[in-house]
Structure 1
């Protein structure tokens, strides 16, 4: 297998269904028909080059902590300074400039709702800007990875239908230490779960059992390679928002969630009069015209022309990283 083909297989095929066993990289190597050292070496190169952020867990929102999407309308001449102030908070894991009056968008996560609200207040004070708070109400497209092969959602598991959120329960000390270790990503060693176990202070089997249980319960949405789409050539990133009647938002959310090219789909609250939109989805492409055409086609085919909408293309990526709950 060529290095280019191996690159693609690792990036595309193992964003989910990662082997949860004592020697997972040996298992990957066997599936790919290469040496274990080749897999470890390539993953380290992909991480160093910024094409992946980590190998590890993607936690479901609202299951082990609290999170929200937030936005600010910042004067263009102040944007860089305000973004820098926001980035100083470890609770902020994504921070983007987007094309809109609300031009700074970021995600804030914390271990509890109280800590989240405290962080939001501190961010608002440090930035000197009022904050638009847009917590998740319903998630229609569960994160199953970012397809790189042009097949959209073909080959992915069946879409996960919306479910009532289970209130997060407090983590015990073992779980808190394990979440802290997983936030850093899986160590790129032959026995990575053994390394995690030594950091947490338990047996390797306990780490694997708890990760498997969290995956089965939906606390971990997926476990595998976490790619950085911008570095892989998907530089046209748009947030498409609609004002959908409340009675129809669940049905439309599920329809959009099944569409190729839609990478995330959520319901969030309107904040009137400044923000009238309640259904959000993300669409990525390699060029802007491709994304614009996809949005126009979706809106026409799904009869959304009469629904108020906005398209917010990303301009500057100020920060991108994994969520930090502890």
Structure 2
């Protein structure tokens, strides 16, 4: 794909801060000294070419819905077959092949923890394989944004305010944003029409959810692999419990590190508790960032593994509302 300076500026600068106004692309156009029509045309092109997967939002894990990271050890020669079984489950929104005995990794999402448990149970039944259920214990940064110009580290995560009143429409709004908005002059009005609400109602709730930290970011969801960042690695560390917080917070300050969180270990099988993602254009670049991160976060003494992604099977938004309720705009409490 051929991308110019305006395309890169759009993708780099508008991953997290889509203006929460009636005509967000008009406001972006004014800041970039161009026209609203030009921005909409560029966004449509970026969607069609796969440079971005959607224009939408991400929901902080285990707030409005449930999720877990999981893995199976697929026998050689059956990877595609087993990946197909996994991806057939509604609620599996990310899945990758990675370099490890545990070679298919996926994220299972759903409106409740019971819904997620059912996904894992069906996968076990249909494949005959053990599924590692690596539940989130503590997020240090789950922003999912990525500086394409390499100029800045991740922003510090906003604290989540779960004391806000969750309204009946919030899950439906987040589900629609998870699936993505159309690049039109008034995307929030279009989204509101789909949900049977007014634009003002939707914008007000999106602002509240963003301010609370439940909506972790809203903007362009970039496909890193399509843009040249193909040497992506999940790095896992076996860190003593009393060191996890300090190490995790230090990792979020390292340029090149994207996601960072603590997950539950599986005793005797998978001892790793601290995770981060590193995106690079080459394996050497990714490993260089890892070396810097291990020193900066004082992780050198601890056992670790580097799991490079070799294939992306699926990458889409999370399932927040039960499938039978998505078309009606209903939502269910956890």
Which whole-Å CA distance do the structure 2 matches of 1:201 and 1:303 have between them? 51
Structure 2 residue runs of 5 or longer lacking an equivalent are: 322-334
Once the two structures are superposed, residues 210-260 of structure 1 have per-residue CA deviations (whole angstroms, 9 ceiling, x without a partner) of 000000111100111110100111000011111001011111100111111
2:287 maps to which of 283, 292, 297: 292
Residue 181 of structure 2 is matched in structure 1 by 186
1:164–1:184 CA distance, 2 compared to 1 (3 A): closer
Question: Within 5 Å, which residues of 2 pair with 1:155-174?
Answer: 157=155, 159-160=156-157, 166=162, 172=168, 174=169
**Is the 8 Å Cα contact of residues 65 and 168 (structure 1) preserved in structure 2?**
no
SS at 1:77's partner residue? coil
Q: Residue in 1 aligned with 2:238?
A: 243
Structure 1 gap segments, 5+ residues each: none
Hey, what's the Cα distance between the residues in 2 that align with 1:91 and 1:301?
Answer: 36
* Residues 63 and 169, structure 1, Cα contact 8 Å, conserved in 2: no
Partner of 1:312: 307
Q: What does 1:41-120 correspond to in 2, within 5 Å?
A: 41-120=41-120
1:36 alignment partner in structure 2: 36
Q: Deviations over 1:25-50 (max 9, x none)?
A: 11111111111111011101101111
Query: Which whole-Å CA distance do the structure 1 matches of 2:119 and 2:252 have between them?
Result: 31
**Cα distance, 1:183 vs structure 2:** 2.6
Structural RMSD (CA) = 2.0
Aligned with residue 201 of structure 2, among 203, 206, 211: 206
Provide the secondary structure at the position in 2 that maps to 1:263: strand
Alpha-carbon distance in 2 for matches of 1:116, 1:179 = 18
Question: How many residues end up aligned between the 2 structures?
Answer: 320
TM-score, with structure 2 as normaliser: 0.91
Residues 253, 279 of structure 1: 8 Å contact kept: yes
Contact 1:14–1:224 (CA<8 Å) still a contact in 2?
yes
Distance in structure 2 (CA, Å) of the matches to 1:219 and 1:69: 19
Change (3 A) 1:102 1:27: same
Give how far 1:127 is off. Answer: 2.3
Residues of 2 paired with 1:283 and 1:242: CA distance? Answer: 14
CA drift of 1:306 comes to 2.2
Aligned equivalents of 1:239, 1:3: Cα separation in 2: 28
CA distance in 2, matches of 1:256, 1:301: 7
Q: Give the distance between the partners of 2:119 and 2:163, measured in 1 at CA.
A: 20
Cα displacement (A) at 1:87: 0.7
Distance 1:64 1:237, change over 3 A: same
Please report the TM-score for the alignment, with normalisation by the length of structure 1: 0.93
* Contact 1:236–1:288 (8 Å) recurs in 2: yes
Q: CA deviation at 1:176?
A: 3.7
What is the alpha-carbon distance in structure 1 between the residues aligned to residue 296 and residue 303 of structure 2? 16
Separation of aligned partners in 1, 2:215 and 2:166: 16
Partners of 1:152 and 1:221 lie apart in 2 by 18
Partner Cα separation in structure 1 for residue 25 and residue 133 of structure 2 = 41
User: 2:325 — aligned with what?
Assistant: none
Shift in Å, 1:184:
2.2
Counterparts of 1:115-134 in structure 2 under 5 Å? 115-134=115-134
Q: How far, CA to CA, are the matches of 1:98 and 1:252 in structure 2?
A: 24
> Which secondary structure does the structure 2 equivalent of 1:267 belong to?
strand
